[in-house]
Chains A and B, each alone.
Chain A
Amino acid sequence: MKKPLGTIAHTRSGDKGDTCNIGVIALKPEYYATIVREVTPERVKAYFGELVKGRVEQFELPNLAAVNLLLHESLGGGGTVSLRVDAQGKTYGAGLLGMEIDVD
C-alpha cells in the first residue's frame, strides 16, 4: 500500500556546509525496517530532483529506529554563499514527509 512517509516517520534536517542531513525517525519501532528499505539514497535524490546536485547517503541507527540521510551539494553552496531561502536545509525534512512509500 502506498502512503506518504509522514504517516510512519518524523524528521529533522540541518546543514554542514553544502550538505543537508535529514534524520528520519520511525514513529513506532516496527516501522524502522520499512524506512530503511523504502527511503533509499536513489529515491530521495530523485524526489528532490534538481535541488540535490550530489550523491545521497543513508546511515542506519537501529538503536534509535532512525536513519540519517546526507544530501551532498544540496544547499546552493551552503551557508552564506547560497541564494536559496532555505540555505540551511531546515525544511528538507518536512519536504520528505510527502514522499510516497510502500508500507507493509
Chain B
Amino acid sequence: MIRIANGQGFWGDWLEAPVRLVEDGPIDFLVLDYLAEVTMSILQKQKQENPNLGYARDFPPLIGRLAPRLRERGIKVIANAGGVNPTACARAVMEAAPGLRVAVVQGDDVFSRIDEFLAKGYEMRDMDTGEPLAGIRGRILSANAYIGAFPLAAALDCGAQVVIAGRSTDTALTLAPMIHAFGWGAEDWNRLAAGTIAGHIIECGAQCSGGNCQVDWQTIPRMADIGYPIIEAESDGSFTVTKHERAGGRVNLDTVKEQLLYELGDPRNYITPDCVAHFTSIQLENSGPDRVRVTGIRGGPRPPTLKLSISYANGWKSIGTLVYSWPQALGKARAADQIVRRRLVELGLGFEEIYTEYFGVNACHGPAAPPNPDPPEVQLRIGVRGQDRKAVDRFTRELIPLVLNGPPGATGFGEGRPPVREIVAYWSALIPREEIATCHEVFG
C-alpha cells in the first residue's frame, strides 16, 4: 500500500496544507496541483518579460520549507508547478533545497509549434464552438498539450524526489506514483481508471475532506485545521480515501460523492491521456471513521488524441459596483443601472456585452432566487466587455458620478474606479497523440 496526499488544489490554495500533510502523519507521495486553464497564459506573459520566470513561484520556497522532512521520510513530490518554464522552476527548487534529486518532464509546451500543426492540416477546432483555430492565430498567448501519468512515472523510476511537470493533467499527478510503485502497464485500463478517479477525488484538496460540503456543514470538526486528503492505494486498483487522524475536517460518503461529481461531464466516459474512466462503475463504502473505501472501477482504452489547452487575448472587461441603502434600495439600484446604460449609449460606446447583477437580490441564482422585495441594501454590479479598450476605460468613469448625480443613498465607492482587465480566453482542441513527444531530465 502507498499513501498519496494532495496538498494544493490550485495555485493560491492554503499554504499550510502541504506542511501539515508531511508533519502530521505518514505519507509516501505529496501531490501539488497548481494549474488552472488560464494559469498558463499568465505564466507565458511572465516568461516573455523575464526568461527565468513562467512557473508557480510558490513552489520553490515551499520545497525549501519541506526539504528536511522530505529527506528524513523519503517523501516524493509530484507537481505541475513548472508551468511554461519547468527547467527554471527546477533551478529555483535546487537553490531553495540543495541536494534534492529533481526531475523535469517536458514536451507539453507546443506554443512554438502551432504554425507547424496548421501547415500539417490540423484545424484544431474549438471543442465547444467548432471554430477553426486559424481565426485567432494572431492572438494566441499559450498552447500546451495535456500529458498523462506515464512520463511522470518514468521520472519517479529514475529516482527523482521532486518531479516537476508543465501541463500534465491534474489526475496524472496521483496516478503516476501508482504506476511507479505497482508497475501498472499502459493497457491496464481498469487500474489506470482507478488511479485516475483517485486523482479526481483529491485533485481539489480539501474539497473531498469536508471543505465546501453541504451535508451537516455546521458540524464538520475543526474546519480551521482541515485535513487535506490522502489516498491509500493498493496494487489491485482499490483504494481508501482518508486524512490524518489529528487533522480537522471529515471524510465520508457525502464528502467523497460531492467531489466525484465536481466538474464532471459524461460520467460514462471521463477521458484522460491515459485511459477512459467509467464513473458509473465506482463502488463506495464507509470503512471506518474518516475512511471511504473505493472499489470496482472499470476503464477503457486511451483516446488516439490529446487535448490542447490554448489561451488567447479576447478583448477587455471591467466590473464596477455601488451600494444603495434602504428604503427602495432595489428601485434605486435599477434606476442607476438605466442611467449608466443611457449615458454609455449617448457617448456612442459599443460593447459586446453589458451585464448587471443586484447583490442581495439575484446575483447568484437569477430568477431562481427567493423573492426579496424590500432588502435593507443592494449592491449594484455592472460589467462590460469588448474589443475596444478605450470604451471599457470610459465605462469605468461612469459609476462614481452617480453618488452625487443619481438616485439617493449610494455608497461603497471607496475603491475608486474599477480596473480594466485584459480577457484571456480559453480554447480547447484535439491533436493526434503521436505529435506530442515527452521526455524527462534529472538534476542533482
Contacts and interface: CB of A to CB of B under 8 A. Distances in A.
B425 interface: yes
Contact of A51 (B254, B367, B425): B367
Chain B interface bracket (under 10, 10 to 19, 20 to 34, 35 or more): 35 or more
A79 B282 CA distance: 30
Main secondary structure of the interface of B (DSSP, over half): mixed
Interface centre among A19, A25, A70 (most CB of B within 10 A): A25
A103 interface: no
A26 to B, nearest CB: 9
B369 A95 contact: yes
A12 B258 contact: yes
A27 B215 contact: yes
Interface in A39-96: 47-51, 59-64, 66, 68, 70, 76-81, 83-86, 91-96
Contacts of A81: 314, 317, 385, 423, 425
B385 A18 contact: no
Given A12-B262, A23-B262, A59 B267 contact: yes
Given A25-B257, A27-B215, A48-B367, A83 B355 contact: yes
Interface string A1-33: 000000000111011111101010101000000
Interface in B88-144: 128
B336 interface: no
Nearest to B217: A10
A44 to B, nearest CB: 10
A51 B254 CA distance: 28
B283 interface: yes
Contact of A63 (B262, B282, B319, B365): B282
B385 A83 contact: yes
Contacts of B353: 76-77, 83
B214 interface: yes
B268 interface: yes
Contact of A10 (B258, B368, B383): B258
Given A49-B367, A84-B357, A91-B365, A14 B262 contact: yes
Contacts of A85: 357, 359, 363-364, 381
A51 B366 CA distance: 7
A75 B371 CA distance: 22
Contact of B282 (A25, A27, A64): A64
Contact of B267 (A61, A92, A93, A99): A61
Contacts of B265: 16, 19, 21, 68, 70
B355 A76 contact: yes
A39 to B, nearest CB: 13
B280 interface: yes
Given A12-B262, A61-B279, A83 B317 contact: yes
Contacts of A94: 214, 364-365
A1 to B, nearest CB: 20
Nearest to B427: A17
Given A79-B37, A80-B426, A94-B214, A86 B364 contact: yes
Contact of B423 (A11, A23, A80, A99): A80
A9 to B, nearest CB: 9
Interface of A: 10-12, 14-19, 21, 23, 25, 27, 47-51, 59-64, 66, 68, 70, 76-81, 83-86, 91-99
Interface of B: 37-38, 128, 212, 214-215, 254, 257-268, 279-284, 314, 317, 319, 353, 355, 357, 359, 363-370, 381, 383-385, 423-426, 428
